Structure 1
Amino acid sequence: MIDPAIILPYVLACLLFSIIPGPSVSVVIANSLAGGTRAGLFTILGTELSMLSMVFTVAVGLEAVMNVVSGAFEFIKLAGAAYLIWIGWKMVRSTGQLSFADGERLPIGRYVWQGALISWSNPKTLLFLSAFLPQFIDLSRPAFGQIMTLGLIVMAVATISDSVYAIAAGQARHLLTAARVRMVNRVSGAILMAGGVWLALQKRA
Structure 2
Amino acid sequence: MFISTVLPAAFPALAIAHFLALLSPGQDFFLISAHAIRHNLKGSQFICLGVAIGNAIYIAAAVFGWTGIRDNPSLFCVIELAGGAYLLWLGAQLLKSGPNSELLESYRGHRLSALKQLWLGLNSALLNPKNALFYMSLMSVILGNHVTMIQQVFCGVWMFSVVLLWDILVAAIIGHEQVQRRLLNKIHLIERVAGAILIGIGMMLFAHYLPI
Please classify the TM superposition score into its range, dividing by the shorter chain length.
Answer: 0.7 to 0.9
Give 5+ residue unaligned stretches, structure 2. Answer: none
Q: Which AA in structure 2 matches 1:80?
A: G
Q: Find out whether 1:75 has 2:74 as its counterpart.
A: no
Q: Find out whether 1:7 has 2:14 as its counterpart.
A: no
* 1:112 Cα deviation from its structure 2 partner: 1.2
* 1:158 Cα deviation from its structure 2 partner: 1.9
Q: Secondary structure at the match of 1:101?
A: helix
**Which sits farther off after the overlay, 94-103 or 130-139?**
94-103
Structure-2 separation of matches of 1:154 and 1:5: 16
Structure-1 separation of matches of 2:144 and 2:85: 40
Structure-1 separation of matches of 2:70 and 2:186: 49
For residue 28 of structure 1, what is the aligned residue in structure 2? 32
8 Å contact from structure 1 (residues 34, 173) kept in 2: yes
- What is the 5 A alignment of 1:16-55? 16-55=20-59
8 Å contact from structure 1 (residues 45, 115) kept in 2: yes
Q: Which AA in structure 2 matches 1:159?
A: L
* 1:117 Cα deviation from its structure 2 partner: 1.1
CA change 1:11–1:81 in 2 (3 A) is same
For residue 115 of structure 1, what is the aligned residue in structure 2? 121
Q: 2:192 aligns with which of 175, 179, 186?
A: 186
Structure-2 separation of matches of 1:198 and 1:56: 27
8 Å contact from structure 1 (residues 95, 182) kept in 2: yes
Structure-2 separation of matches of 1:10 and 1:197: 31
* 1:184 Cα deviation from its structure 2 partner: 2.6
For residue 162 of structure 1, what is the aligned residue in structure 2? 167
* Structure 1 stretches of 4+ moved >6 Å: none
Q: Which AA in structure 2 matches 1:75?
A: V
Alignment length (residue pairs): 200
Structure-2 separation of matches of 1:132 and 1:200: 26
Give 5+ residue unaligned stretches, structure 1. Answer: none
Q: Find out whether 1:175 has 2:182 as its counterpart.
A: yes
Identity %: 23
Structure-2 separation of matches of 1:202 and 1:126: 18
Structure-1 separation of matches of 2:44 and 2:142: 31
- Tell me the TM-score normalised to structure 2 length: 0.80
Q: Find out whether 1:197 has 2:200 as its counterpart.
A: no
Structure-2 separation of matches of 1:128 and 1:118: 15
* 1:53 Cα deviation from its structure 2 partner: 1.1
8 Å contact from structure 2 (residues 7, 151) kept in 1: no
Structure-2 separation of matches of 1:61 and 1:13: 20
* 1:126 Cα deviation from its structure 2 partner: 0.5
For residue 86 of structure 1, what is the aligned residue in structure 2? 89
* 1:180 Cα deviation from its structure 2 partner: 2.8
**Which sits farther off after the overlay, 187-196 or 41-50?**
187-196
CA change 1:67–1:140 in 2 (3 A) is closer
